[in-house]
Amino acid sequence: MAHYENLDRGFQKKYGVSFEEFEEKNVVKKKGFSWEVESDAMAWEQAVDGIKTMRTRLEDLDVLK
């Protein structure tokens, strides 16, 4: 989970917004669908999903309650 959290923080710092804001502002389109931004978007989405999945699983084990 730490890996995903580090990626999330790195992308937040790079783009100055949360992943949700990144999507709402359609940053990929605004940046001209560049390879770098598209790649970052996919990696960021995977990281955010990974964080949510890990938290759910840990809560299921009563680790984070």
Could you say which DSSP state residue 17 is in? S
Residue pair 9/43 in contact (Cβ under 8 Å)? The answer is no
Per-residue model confidence as pLDDT tens for the chain (65 residues): 999 999 999 999 999 999 999 999 999 999 999 999 999 999 999 999 999 999 999 888 886 55
Which tokens hold the place of 13? 């710092």
Task: State if pTM tops 0.75.
Answer: yes
Question: Which of 13, 19, 16, 17 is CA-nearest to residue 51?
Answer: 19
Other C-beta atoms closer than 10 Å to the C-beta of 23 total 15
Spell out where the chain has E strands.
none
